[in-house]
Chain A
């Protein structure tokens, strides 16, 4: 693995709400190497989107972020505002889930690309326009020059997501943070957008962190995967290792609950129960109440992240029972 571009250490996010503190992310560690594609998966509310937004410090004032987010060795959480601003949209760009609400409805697409170029490059007006046309072309938007003057509501959903990706790519970032970039799109468009992101990763050599709840998407696109549950990291490793032989009871249950690609008419195994409330830190393993492998220790002691192989680690007391290849699960 390359030397990490981004190293997240013991990341914690606590939201102050009228009903008390919510521990959305708790003790999270992961790294992203140059040119690498990392998938962060988890159910709704598992803290994956919050994690992503905590990296460039986009969370609002009600969030308290702890730990370290090291960008090329420098802690982004401690960076002065102006340095952080130049990093955002410059080296570290982001794509949001809902292109309709993430694009400003009253500004033409061209201006929304142009302002990134103004903020991060010294190009003149003519060069910026040429670059904007080039970017729209890069993400597969036809007759790009004419599209610059149009507003988001004149674009289709897929086109809007392409335009948002073009905006994110404007300053040639080394890392793209993508928060469920395909969730709001229909299936055929989803696939096009994923193919586009993968092509851009290849062509531009940038790293990608892809947050998704879709295990199929991870299997198709990612080099490595980090599985989150209730704000904590359950398991991380290469897609092959984690999906081939999960070492965490939650990953295992998650994979068994997925419709497989095999021909066998296997019954799906749902995960019983609900994710825990995260208004106070859970003492043991957060998944224990729903876990079929749970042991007494799971309710009292928090499992530590343990390496099972090079780059494959999980935090599960039942890990030794697991690790067998799943049949009929995602390829």
Chain B
């Protein structure tokens, strides 16, 4: 198998993945406690009205037929209207998704920008005080719940010091970045800790590799050995981890957006769950799952780019 075949197969793999996501979302929606029709019509609806609505929604059809028609609607991009806002679900999500993507992107950037150099320092001073210090500091980030970190940052940097706004999103691009900095930092802390620990371990492993000794025996400069020979090999494992972490990042975004009142899909998700806005919950689950699988796709492609052995 050559690399372009590998890449093509990896791209085709998203088709069954998306199909399974669709099935899972459909099943999850049926498993939710409560009855959609009565929550739509209210407690005092007549039996006739309930029957009519059940028929309208197609809920009187077989479960298989319902699933097929659900998958068909999804494929056509028809995800219905929000029960709470009475606007198309896609518009609701479309307005808020860029906010969450920007937030997650900022968090990823901050996490990687902090974790990579720190992992290097920690690995090169393994078990001496800089390493121990870095690991203890990151351990705090790793073991603190996101909502708590968010509240602390909010209190200190927005409440006391007034360096950053308490919440919201602002109107211009600059304001967006300014408003999202604290929530992104909140998300980045645990993310950075995971990346730092993983990368530190990979670097330590790569440092004992024969090709690193050989690189030194070749008389290469220290930074060439570190960046060309050590970092690149150590990053291969970490790239996959970063892809896998995008899922937790989006999960964290749900909480962080609520704490910082950021109008993203995370907060929409929380609001929709409280409002039992099933079409929105269903569509959001679908969108988030697709985002995670796309993140994994990207990390696989980056890994292929870093490691010439992938796909051979």
| Chain A residues proximal to chain B, CB less than 8 Å | 53, 56, 58, 60, 85-90, 93-94, 96, 98, 101-108, 115-116, 119-120, 151, 153-154, 164, 167-168, 171
Question: Which of B228, B236, B306 has most chain A Cβ within 10 Å?
Answer: B228
What is the CB-to-nearest-CB distance from B303 to chain A, in angstroms, rounded to a whole number?
11
Q: Which residues of A contact B211 (CB under 8 A)?
A: 101-105
CA of A94 to CA of B236, assembled, Å: 28
* Stretch of B41-49, B55-63, B139-147, B218-226 with 4 or more beta carbons under 8 angstroms from chain A: B218-226
CA of A86 to CA of B221, assembled, Å: 9
* Contacting pair B309 A153 (CB below 8 A): yes
CA of A108 to CA of B307, assembled, Å: 11
Counting CB contacts under 8 A, is B52 at the interface?
no
Q: Name which residue of chain A comes closest to B224, CB basis.
A: A115
Counting CB contacts under 8 A, is B163 at the interface?
no
* Inter-chain CB contacts under 8 Å: number: 84
User: Would you list the 5 A-B pairs with minimal beta carbon distance, nearest first?
Assistant: A89-B219, A88-B219, A89-B218, A101-B210, A94-B217
CA of A154 to CA of B312, assembled, Å: 9
CA of A108 to CA of B215, assembled, Å: 14
Q: Name which residue of chain B comes closest to A120, CB basis.
A: B219
* Contacting pair B216 A58 (CB below 8 A): yes
CA of A89 to CA of B236, assembled, Å: 28
Subset of 11 A-B contacts with CB under 8 Å: A94-B214, A104-B211, A104-B228, A105-B211, A105-B307, A106-B306, A107-B229, A115-B220, A115-B228, A119-B221, A168-B218
What is the CB-to-nearest-CB distance from B202 to chain A, in angstroms, rounded to a whole number?
13
* Contacting pair B213 A58 (CB below 8 A): yes
Contact with A along B284-312 (1 / 0, CB 8 A): 00000000000000000000001111001
CA of A141 to CA of B229, assembled, Å: 24
* Contacting pair B219 A104 (CB below 8 A): no
CA of A168 to CA of B217, assembled, Å: 9
What is the CB-to-nearest-CB distance from B291 to chain A, in angstroms, rounded to a whole number?
29
* Contacting pair B219 A116 (CB below 8 A): yes
Counting CB contacts under 8 A, is B132 at the interface?
no
* Contacting pair A96 B210 (CB below 8 A): yes
Counting CB contacts under 8 A, is B232 at the interface?
yes
Q: Which residues of B contact A108 (CB under 8 A)?
A: 308
Question: Which of A98, A104, A115, A167 has most chain B Cβ within 10 Å?
Answer: A104
CA of A86 to CA of B219, assembled, Å: 6
Q: Which residues of B contact A104 (CB under 8 A)?
A: 211, 214-215, 228-229, 233
Q: Which residues of B contact A86 (CB under 8 A)?
A: 219
What is the CB-to-nearest-CB distance from A96 to chain B, in angstroms, rounded to a whole number?
6
Counting CB contacts under 8 A, is B75 at the interface?
no
User: CB within 8 A of B218: which of A88, A151, A153?
Assistant: A88
What is the CB-to-nearest-CB distance from A325 to chain B, in angstroms, rounded to a whole number?
40
Q: Name which residue of chain A comes closest to B214, CB basis.
A: A102
* Contacting pair B307 A106 (CB below 8 A): yes
CA of A53 to CA of B217, assembled, Å: 9
